[in-house]
Amino acid sequence: MKPVHRAFPSTRPRRMRFDDFSRRLMRENRLTVDDLIYPVFVLEGQGQRDHCTPMPGIERLSVDELVKDAEHWVELGIPAVALFPVTPAEKKSLDAREAWNPDGLAQRAVHALKERFPQLGVITDVALDPFTTHGQDGIIDDSGYVMNDETVEALVKQALSHAAAGADIVAPSDMMDGRIGAIRAALECDSHTNTKILAYSAKYASSYYGPFRHAVGSASNLAGGNKFNYQMDPANSDEALHEVALDLQEGADMVMIKPGMPYLDIVHRVKTEFKVPTFVYQVSGEYAMHMAAVQNGWLEEEKVMMESLTAFKRAGADAILTYYAVKAAELLAGRA
125 versus 247: smaller Cβ distance to ligand PBG: 125
d(CA 183, CA 192): 11
For residues 161, 241, 255, 285, the Cα torsion angle rounded to the nearest 10 degrees is: 90
26 versus 292: smaller Cβ distance to ligand PBG: 292
Task: Identify the sign of the CA torsion 235, 238, 242, 244.
Answer: positive
Closest CB 314 distance from ligand PBG, rounded Å: 21
d(CA 332, CA 336): 8
Burial class of residue 269 (count of CB atoms within 10 Å of its CB; 0-12, 13-18, 19+):
buried
What phi and psi values does residue 138 have, to the nearest 5 degrees? Answer: -155, -170
Q: Which residues of 165-176 are buried (b: 16+ CB within 10 A; e: fewer)?
A: bbbbbbbbbbbb
Can 203 be counted among the known catalytic residues? yes
Closest CA to 228 of 256, 207, 199: 207
Q: What is the longest distance spanned by two Cα atoms in the chain? A: 87
99 versus 113: smaller Cβ distance to ligand PBG: 99
The string of DSSP letters for 99-127 reads: GG-TTSHHHHHHHHHHHH-TTSEEEEEE-
| CB contact at 8 A, 203 and 231 | yes
- One of 92, 196, 227, 258 is an active-site residue; which one? 258
Can 68 be counted among the known catalytic residues? no
172 versus 316: smaller Cβ distance to ligand PBG: 172
- One of 92, 203, 271, 313 is an active-site residue; which one? 203
105 versus 127: smaller Cβ distance to ligand PBG: 127
Closest CB 21 distance from ligand PBG, rounded Å: 38
d(CA 198, CA 171): 5
Closest CB 127 distance from ligand PBG, rounded Å: 4
Closest CB 12 distance from ligand PBG, rounded Å: 43
What single-letter DSSP state applies at residue 260?
A: S
224 versus 297: smaller Cβ distance to ligand PBG: 224
79 versus 259: smaller Cβ distance to ligand PBG: 259
| CB contact at 8 A, 108 and 63 | yes
Closest CB 22 distance from ligand PBG, rounded Å: 38
Closest CB 323 distance from ligand PBG, rounded Å: 7
Closest CB 229 distance from ligand PBG, rounded Å: 13
Write the CA distances from 204 to 136, 167, 237, 293, integer angstroms: 15, 25, 10, 24
List of residues 6+ apart from 292 with CB closer than 8 A: none
Q: What is the contact surface with ligand PBG in residues (CB under 6 A)?
A: 125, 127, 129, 137, 173-174, 209, 212-213, 283-284
| Catalytic machinery residues | 203, 258
